[in-house]
Protein backbone atom coordinates (compact mmCIF):
# COMPACT_ATOMS: atom_id res chain seq x y z
CA UNK A 1 0.00 0.00 0.00
CA UNK A 2 3.02 2.35 0.31
CA UNK A 3 2.88 2.61 -3.44
CA UNK A 4 -0.16 4.86 -3.00
CA UNK A 5 2.07 7.48 -1.44
CA UNK A 6 3.73 7.85 -4.83
CA UNK A 7 0.84 7.10 -7.15
CA UNK A 8 -1.68 9.56 -5.77
CA UNK A 9 0.64 12.59 -5.94
CA UNK A 10 1.75 11.45 -9.39
CA UNK A 11 -1.81 11.19 -10.68
CA UNK A 12 -2.65 14.60 -9.21
CA UNK A 13 0.47 16.07 -10.75
CA UNK A 14 -0.27 14.67 -14.19
CA UNK A 15 -3.85 15.90 -14.03
CA UNK A 16 -2.57 19.28 -12.89
CA UNK A 17 -0.18 19.45 -15.85
CA UNK A 18 -3.17 18.85 -18.13
CA UNK A 19 -5.15 21.57 -16.38
CA UNK A 20 -2.31 24.09 -16.62
CA UNK A 21 -1.84 23.27 -20.30
CA UNK A 22 -5.54 23.79 -20.92
CA UNK A 23 -5.57 27.11 -19.09
CA UNK A 24 -2.58 28.18 -21.19
CA UNK A 25 -4.38 27.33 -24.44
CA UNK A 26 -7.49 29.24 -23.34
CA UNK A 27 -5.43 32.28 -22.35
CA UNK A 28 -3.64 32.34 -25.70
CA UNK A 29 -6.88 32.38 -27.73
CA UNK A 30 -6.51 28.94 -29.24
CA UNK A 31 -10.24 28.24 -29.19
CA UNK A 32 -11.29 31.32 -31.16
CA UNK A 33 -11.68 29.64 -34.50
CA UNK A 34 -11.90 25.87 -34.02
CA UNK A 35 -13.55 25.36 -37.39
CA UNK A 36 -11.03 27.46 -39.29
CA UNK A 37 -8.06 25.82 -37.58
CA UNK A 38 -9.42 22.40 -38.47
CA UNK A 39 -9.52 23.44 -42.13
CA UNK A 40 -6.25 25.36 -42.20
CA UNK A 41 -4.31 22.18 -41.50
CA UNK A 42 -5.30 21.05 -45.01
CA UNK A 43 -3.92 24.15 -46.68
CA UNK A 44 -0.61 23.84 -48.57
CA UNK A 45 0.46 27.35 -47.67
CA UNK A 46 3.36 27.67 -45.28
CA UNK A 47 4.03 23.94 -45.58
CA UNK A 48 7.77 24.46 -46.06
CA UNK A 49 8.34 27.11 -43.42
CA UNK A 50 6.19 28.65 -40.67
CA UNK A 51 4.34 31.86 -41.38
CA UNK A 52 6.58 34.76 -40.35
**27 vs 48 by CB, closer to another protein:** 27
Q: Rounded to whole angstroms, how far apart are CA atoms 46 and 52?
A: 9
Residues at the interface with another protein (CB under 8 A): 1, 4, 8, 11-12, 15-16, 18-19, 22-23, 26-36, 39-40, 42-43, 45, 50
Least spacing, CB of residue 14 vs another protein, in Å: 10
Least spacing, CB of residue 48 vs another protein, in Å: 16
Q: Rounded to whole angstroms, how far apart are CA atoms 35 and 13?
A: 32
| Torsion region of 37: left, alpha or beta (phi above 0 gives left; psi -120 to 50 gives alpha) | alpha
Amino acid sequence: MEVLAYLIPISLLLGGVGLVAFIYTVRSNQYDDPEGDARRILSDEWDDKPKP
